[in-house]
């Protein structure tokens, strides 16, 4: 191993991240920083006068559209290339969001346009993850994923600030800004298309040759008999979907639970800030530790801690306890989300990676689609019992993640 490689792996160095990672990360930041539909869909649908039943239908349509978009993005990237799918999605979203800005007061048109836009936006996730995980970064895959997620989290932090400046009820202007953000993303990706396509070609020729054998989808693990690579991949997708369903309780169960405390609304805002700052500050440094661990143990630990942290916050009786619980929740998120994407990249071949990253994105969309409703129902009916179930489900999902990476000889597996 060269001294340059050691330097790259041993400490963060912004210059060590390849150009394609920077391009995709900036594009992700642009999309997320004007992602008002993703963050404020409930507020938007309520503002146009939807009834409770119509609101539930609209949110379900958006969630279902996100799942379809994730699957379509992964499959299309496998066939046409990740770069061209990203460009097509960014271009298509411009007229969709512009039309939504013009017809945001028409409920039927708004629901249809919003659902199509969610599908197109979600198609971005799989190809983007494939380009990042398939990049020429010399360090650990989980580290480059964590670096990419800094831009995602930063964009999610910018969007609420923009809403505060523009006005929460001025959705016509907000969606117009979203269309400009998508246009800017398309312009960036089109300008950098040759560089991104070249990166895709390099990833295809490498065929995972730099991956450890225990992660080679076509080689036995260690000296023992390996589980089917496909079974491992699907196990990660399934437990990730369960983990994201639990994660989605932060959007419903958590605000409902902390509402019973003094200044509960302000507390929930503080929790969101704590989460964003934790991810931005600590996810990248944590990735250097995670990459040295057995991937399945780290993934199981992250999933388990996420659920435990949410339950501690949800059952907490004070601001201090809730904030501590949300720090645990953020720690779990910082571990399991980048690790899931990195594990998929290492276990799959270069041609399979975009498709399975799309499956992973679809699992996330399913979790976000069903999780908030489950959380609201559970907390409103029996909060104590519900949070106990959240802990049990998270521990069970973590155990499945650990089992998915077990080898006959239990040789060490790293996400290198």
* Under 8 Å between Cβ of 65 and 361: no
| Predicted pLDDT of residue 211 | 44
Distance CA 170, CA 47 (A): 10
The pLDDT score that the predictor gives to residue 207 is 52
pLDDT for residue 389 is more than 90: yes
The angle at the Cα of 125, spanning 122 to 126, to the nearest 5 degrees, equals 115
Give one word for 348, left, alpha or beta, with left for phi > 0 and alpha for psi -120 to 50: beta
pLDDT at position 23 is 96
Residue 39 backbone dihedrals phi, psi, to 5 degrees: -85, -30
- Type and span of the H or E element at 62: helix 52-80
Q: How confident is the model at residue 369 (pLDDT cuts 50, 70, 90)?
A: confident
pLDDT attached to residue 252:
81
DSSP secondary structure letters along 233-282: HHHHHHHHHHHHHHHGGGGTHHHHHHTTSTTHHHHHHHHHHHHHHHHHHH
Distance (Å, rounded) from C-alpha 116 to C-alpha 26? 23
- Tell me the pLDDT band of 407, cut-offs 50, 70 and 90: low
DSSP track, 128-171: HHHHHHTS--SS-HHHHHHHHHHHHHHHHHHHHHHHHHH-TT-H
Residue 337 has pLDDT above 90, yes or no: yes
pLDDT value, residue 217: 36
Distance of alpha carbon 300 from the chain centroid: 17
Alpha carbons within 13 angstroms on the beta-carbon side of residue 3 total 0
Residue 231's pLDDT is: 87
Tens-digit pLDDT profile for residues 167-185: 777 889 999 999 999 999 9
pLDDT for position 32: 87
At 11 the pLDDT is 55
Long-range contacts of 53-60 (CB under 8 A, 24+ apart): 54/107, 56/373, 57/111, 58/111, 58/114, 58/115, 59/369, 59/372, 60/369
Distance from the Cα of residue 375 to its chain's centroid: 19
pLDDT bucket at 87, cuts 50 / 70 / 90: very high
Average model confidence (pLDDT) for the chain? 85
Distance CA 283, CA 281 (A): 6
- 197 CB neighbour count, 10 Å cutoff: 15
- What tens digit of pLDDT does each residue of 65-86 get? 989 999 999 999 989 999 999 9
Give pLDDT, residue 12: 57
2: pLDDT strictly greater than 90: no
Contact between residue 77 and residue 348 where contact means Cβ atoms under 8 Å apart: no
Helix 295-315 × helix 319-347 angle, to 10° = 160
Say if residue 319 is exposed, middle or buried (CB neighbours under 10 Å; 0-12, 13-18, 19+). middle
Distance of alpha carbon 111 from alpha carbon 34, whole angstroms:
19
- Averaged pLDDT for residues 239-254: 91
Sign of the CA dihedral running 273, 276, 279, 280? negative
State percent of the chain over pLDDT 90. Answer: 54
pLDDT given for residue 116 in this prediction: 94
Chain segment 97-130, per-residue pLDDT in tens? 999 999 988 899 999 999 999 999 989 989 999 9
Q: What angle do CA 169, 251, 112 make, to 5 degrees?
A: 55
Q: How many helices, marked H, and strands, marked E, lie in the chain?
A: 16, 0
C-alpha 135/C-alpha 402 separation (Å) is: 27
Question: Residues 252-263: pLDDT tens digits?
Answer: 888 888 888 888
What span, in angstroms and rounded, lies between the C-alpha atoms of 5 and 130? 22
């Amino acid at each position: 191993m060269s001294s340059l490689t050691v330097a790259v792996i041993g400490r963060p160095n912004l210059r060590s991240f390849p150009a394609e990672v920077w391009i995709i990360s900036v594009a992700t930041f642009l999309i997320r920083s004007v992602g008002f539909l993703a963050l404020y869909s409930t507020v938007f649908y309520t503002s146009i006068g939807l009834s409770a039943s119509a609101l539930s239908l609209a949110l379900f349509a958006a969630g279902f559209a996100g799942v379809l978009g994730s699957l379509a993005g992964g499959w299309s990237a496998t066939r046409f290339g990740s770069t061209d799918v990203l460009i097509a999605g960014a271009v298509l979203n411009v007229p969709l969001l512009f039309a939504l800005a013009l017809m945001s007061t028409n409920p039927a048109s708004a629901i249809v346009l919003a659902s199509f836009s969610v599908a197109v936006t979600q198609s971005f996730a799989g190809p983007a993850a494939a380009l990042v995980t398939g990049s020429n970064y010399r360090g650990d895959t989980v580290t480059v994923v964590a670096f990419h997620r800094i831009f995602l989290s930063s964009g999610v932090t910018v969007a609420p600030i923009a809403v505060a400046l523009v006005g929460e009820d001025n959705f016509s202007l907000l969606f117009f800004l979203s269309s400009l953000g998508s246009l800017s993303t398309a312009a960036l990706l089109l300008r950098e298309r040759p560089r991104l396509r070249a990166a895709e070609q390099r990833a295809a020729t490498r065929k995972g040759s730099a991956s450890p054998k225990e992660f080679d989808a076509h080689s036995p693990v260690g000296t023992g008999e390996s589980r089917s690579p496909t079974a491992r991949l699907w196990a990660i997708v399934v437990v990730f979907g369960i983990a994201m369903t639990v994660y989605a309780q932060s959007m419903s169960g958590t605000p409902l639970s902390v509402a019973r405390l003094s200044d509960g609304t302000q507390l929930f805002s503080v929790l969101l800030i704590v989460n964003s700052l934790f991810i931005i500050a600590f996810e990248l440094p944590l990735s250097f530790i995670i990459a040295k661990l057995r991937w399945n143990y780290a993934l199981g630990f992250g999933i388990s801690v996420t659920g435990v942290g949410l339950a501690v916050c949800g059952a907490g009786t004070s601001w201090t306890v809730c904030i501590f619980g949300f720090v645990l929740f953020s720690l779990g998120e910082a571990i399991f989300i980048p690790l899931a994407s990195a594990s998929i990249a290492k276990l799959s071949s270069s041609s399979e990676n975009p498709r399975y990253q799309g499956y992973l994105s679809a699992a996330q969309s399913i979790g976000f689609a069903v999780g908030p409703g489950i959380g609201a129902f559970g907390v409103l009916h029996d909060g104590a019992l519900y949070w106990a179930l959240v802990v049990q489900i998270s521990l069970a999902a973590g155990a499945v993640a650990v089992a998915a990476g077990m080898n006959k000889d239990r040789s060490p597996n790293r996400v290198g």
